[in-house]
A and B are shown apart, each in its own frame.
Chain A
Amino acid sequence: MATLGPNQGDAVRIGVYICHCGINIAGKVDVADVTQFAASLPGVVVARDYKFMCSDPGQELIQQDIREHGLNRIVVASCSPLMHEATFRRAAAEGGINPFFFQMANIREHVSWVTADKAAATEKSRALVAAAVSRVGGHEALERQRVAVKPDVLVVGGGIAGIHAALTLADSGKTVYLVEREPTIGGHMAKFDKTFPTLDCAACILTPKMSLVRQHPNITLWTYAEVADVSGYVGNFSVTVRRKPRYVIEDRCVGCNACVEACVFKEGKFADEFNYGLAKRKPVYMPFPQATPSVVLIDPATCLHFKTGKCKQACKAACERDAIDFDQRDELVEIEVGAIVVATGFQPFDAERVPEYGYGQYPGVYTSLEVERLVNASGPTGGEITLRDGRVPKAVGIIHCVGSRDHATNKYCSRVCCMYSLKLAHLVKERTGAEIYNFYIDMRTPGKGYEEFYDKLLEEGVHFIRGRAAEVTDWTMTPDEEGKLVIRAEDTLIGAVRRIPVDMVVLSVGLEAQADAGEVRRLFNISCSHEGWFLERHPKLAPVSTFTDGVFLAGACQGPKDIPDTVAQAGAAAAEAMALIDKGYVELEPNTAFIDEERCSGCKTCIAMCPYSAISFIADARVARVNEALCKGCGTCVAACPSAAAQQHLFTDDQIFDEIAGVLSYV
């Protein structure tokens, strides 16, 4: 059954190591008892317990025992194999045995951390150790297949995360494809006026990076494009990008806006997406003045040519460079990359989902992002903070935690709202002199210079009322509430319900996963939390990796975060991608399927099972054969084979039966 390596004798000689993990395991599991039990199992030559098996001395212990006791199989009972399997395989290899003569028993995540009773935890640990010992004897020596890594990188999403990751990679000499689904890069950050806590202008720090992306010789920028398909595996992804038609030839357009001037619509008539509908645009438009690339686009949903076919095409006539092309179609581009950085960002919470705050009902109620545009000098009002009726607000209420920390919407804290609320409070007060009232549950200002910013606001005379606002209403009770919106809230510091009349209500909306995060996740074969945030491989030790090797995360698609954290994470994702590519190759887990041709009856059952078309039928020999380069090691064909001819390395039938017998051999 098992093939032993060249340096081993015939007899299985197992070393078992029980890790204390400090008190993480030893606090709940009687490690001495488990060690003693392990020593009694058949084939076990040495059994030891040690404080930290993953430490250097722990690994050295294994290697020393391999030398002194001629061990040819190793079992470590410690944490999850997803955590340290690679560590111990390496230790075994350095000790001189094949790294796959190793099995791990997970007695931390699956035992000590989840079991209340000490005796039960010890018994369960024994069972898992017995299973590992039972299976490891049948392990075979395996070789990892080395595959060259494609040198290019795909970055998905052109917000600050994607921009920073792309620039970092491009500066290191990598060829980067940056795909953004909007017509311009910049993401949410491009819409902000100032950034907290330094109050430096968002455009001043972002737009230079945007134009660097455009100019960088190593970056291919595709805006108004989406990833349509991803196949392959770490180091060797094939990606199809769909470039949507903008009806403007990108290479010819110089962004002069002559077409926009010439459009038969003399004034903007349609809601401008960039300004959340606070301004109007024409069917042919530049998303915003600093849009990158500086190329216009035509919206077929509003353009007369597309709607009626009877437009005189003034835009086309006005273009000196003949850049307008009404016949553009979707274009599919195929690229090959070694690594992918997913930086698809967030979407703001839809304030209409909290009807008691009157968004969409009272014109004086705004979302924080709308107010970002109002305070922005290049926004729809040129930076003048005026209400929809043109008045300048004299009192403004800012309601925190809209769509955050709320069991009816999202339980999590969106992390950035306290700080951006403070920023907006400062900016609105500075520009209008209005009285500002913040309604908050808790002020959350952890971060460099953040608490100091809060202190500054307190000194500026901004009012803070601790309590979740109950409602926004135009039902007035006193003459001074006349014509105002009233925010009703319990002030939990004075223990009374207050009514604050204001002219403008700002809803500090939280961050949510993109509406199509589910589809994007499936495209890249990554997981997400139940809120829709993409799941990192490990919350602490692998925060930008995913469970799919070669796919990395950056920015708010992984969870709410502010700009400094986003940029830091984007740099980390770029570095991880670089490490993968600069290594030049990947070693694939040798858990592929194979077929014992002596046993194969040629029934072809397995062929239909394989989602990767990795199995073909060899007509001459009348047997099925697995192409190891295509096999991803799921084992579905193995489970289907009626003659047990199909097997999976590391998960052979015998190994699994041995493991089952082991977990059930209670003592």
Chain B
Amino acid sequence: MSDGTFQPRIVAFFCNWCTYTAADLAGISRMSYAANVRVVRLMCSGRLDPQFVVAALRQGADGVLIGGCHPGDCHYQVGNHKALRRFTLLKRLLGQLGIEDERVRLEWIAASEGDKVQRVINEMVAQVRALGPLGLTAIPRPHGEAAAVPPCCAE
């Protein structure tokens, strides 16, 4: 990672039952993919508070990936539908703030789709790399002094 190319920072929110498991399957199947995505596990994509996305972008993420079960497959019946609704609203808001469409992405990835985890992550890393840094924060990059973590969005 030291060849000077821009290494985007992407935070992913994966649901426990489908997408997180799919990412585990990608691991078990040794599917190599870009190392830029760091996964935060949630029980359901329905737990995704839009503030999490905003907090990630504000604290230095160049992109956010959200993964949930396919429609109809949600472990909690309809959490993914709720996620989709919030995502749709959030995208409109982010667009108005000038945040490019490709930076925030929602994907339905089933527990058996390890290959889709690999493909989506590689695709997204390439897209965000092409866009360049988001630059919403002054955190120094890369590998500088220990960055000061801004106070999180909760009070």
Chain A residues in contact with chain B, CB under 8 A? Answer: 80-83, 106, 108-111, 113-117, 119-121, 123-124, 127-128, 131, 134, 522, 525, 527-530, 535, 539, 547-548, 591, 609, 611, 632-636, 638-640, 644, 648, 651, 653-654, 656-667
Task: Give the shortest distance, in Å, between B54 (CB) and chain A (any CB).
Answer: 10
Chain B residues in contact with chain A, CB under 8 A? Answer: 1-2, 9, 11, 16-18, 20-21, 23-24, 26-28, 30-33, 35, 38-44, 46-52, 55-56, 59-61, 72-73, 75-79, 82, 86, 110-113, 118, 139, 141-143, 146-147, 149-150, 152-154
Q: Which residues of A contact B152 (CB under 8 A)?
A: 654, 657-658, 660-661
Q: Are B26 and A547 in contact (CB under 8 A)?
A: no
Q: Are A114 and B112 in contact (CB under 8 A)?
A: no
Task: Give the shortest distance, in Å, between A629 (CB) and chain B (any CB).
Answer: 16
Task: Give the shortest distance, in Å, between B151 (CB) and chain A (any CB).
Answer: 9
Q: Which residues of B contact A123 (CB under 8 A)?
A: 1, 35
Q: Which residues of A contact B35 (CB under 8 A)?
A: 111, 114-115, 117, 120-121, 123-124
The CA-CA distance from A657 to B35 in the complex, in Å, is 22
Q: Are B27 and A635 in contact (CB under 8 A)?
A: no
Q: Are B40 and A660 in contact (CB under 8 A)?
A: yes
Contact of A527 (CB < 8 Å), options: B48, B78, B112, B143: B112
The CA-CA distance from A522 to B24 in the complex, in Å, is 22
Task: Give the shortest distance, in Å, between A664 (CB) and chain B (any CB).
Answer: 5
Q: Which residues of B contact A648 (CB under 8 A)?
A: 43, 47
Q: Which residues of B contact A109 (CB under 8 A)?
A: 23-24, 26-28
Q: Are B27 and A666 in contact (CB under 8 A)?
A: no
Q: Which residues of A contact B39 (CB under 8 A)?
A: 106, 110
Q: Which residues of B contact A128 (CB under 8 A)?
A: 38
Q: 12 A-B residue contacts at CB 8 Å?
A: A109-B24, A114-B33, A117-B1, A547-B111, A634-B76, A654-B152, A657-B153, A658-B152, A661-B55, A664-B56, A666-B142, A666-B147
The CA-CA distance from A106 to B25 in the complex, in Å, is 13
Instruction: A109-B23, A548-B75, A651-B47 are known; give 15 further A-B pairs, CB within 8 A.
Output: A113-B30, A115-B32, A116-B32, A124-B38, A527-B110, A530-B112, A530-B113, A609-B46, A635-B47, A636-B44, A639-B48, A657-B154, A665-B147, A666-B143, A667-B146
Closest A residue to B111 using CB positions: A527
Q: Are B75 and A525 in contact (CB under 8 A)?
A: yes
Closest B residue to A661 using CB positions: B149
Q: Are B40 and A659 in contact (CB under 8 A)?
A: yes
Q: Which residues of B contact A124 (CB under 8 A)?
A: 35, 38
The CA-CA distance from A131 to B11 in the complex, in Å, is 11
The CA-CA distance from A31 to B11 in the complex, in Å, is 23
Q: Which residues of A contact B86 (CB under 8 A)?
A: 639
Known: A634-B79, A638-B47, A657-B52. A663 touches B40 (CB 8 A): yes
Known: A634-B44, A636-B76. A114 touches B154 (CB 8 A): no
Q: Are B21 and A547 in contact (CB under 8 A)?
A: yes
Q: Which residues of B contact A660 (CB under 8 A)?
A: 11, 40, 52, 55-56, 59, 152
Known: A530-B112, A667-B146. A654 touches B27 (CB 8 A): no
Q: Which residues of B contact A134 (CB under 8 A)?
A: 149
Q: Which residues of A contact B30 (CB under 8 A)?
A: 113-114
Q: Are A114 and B32 in contact (CB under 8 A)?
A: yes
Contact of B78 (CB < 8 Å), options: A539, A611, A665: A611
Q: Are A110 and B27 in contact (CB under 8 A)?
A: yes
Q: Which residues of A contact B11 (CB under 8 A)?
A: 660, 663-664
Q: Are A633 and B24 in contact (CB under 8 A)?
A: no
Q: Are B9 and A664 in contact (CB under 8 A)?
A: yes
Task: Give the shortest distance, in Å, between A502 (CB) and chain B (any CB).
Answer: 40
Known: A547-B17, A634-B76. A108 touches B27 (CB 8 A): yes
The CA-CA distance from A127 to B56 in the complex, in Å, is 14
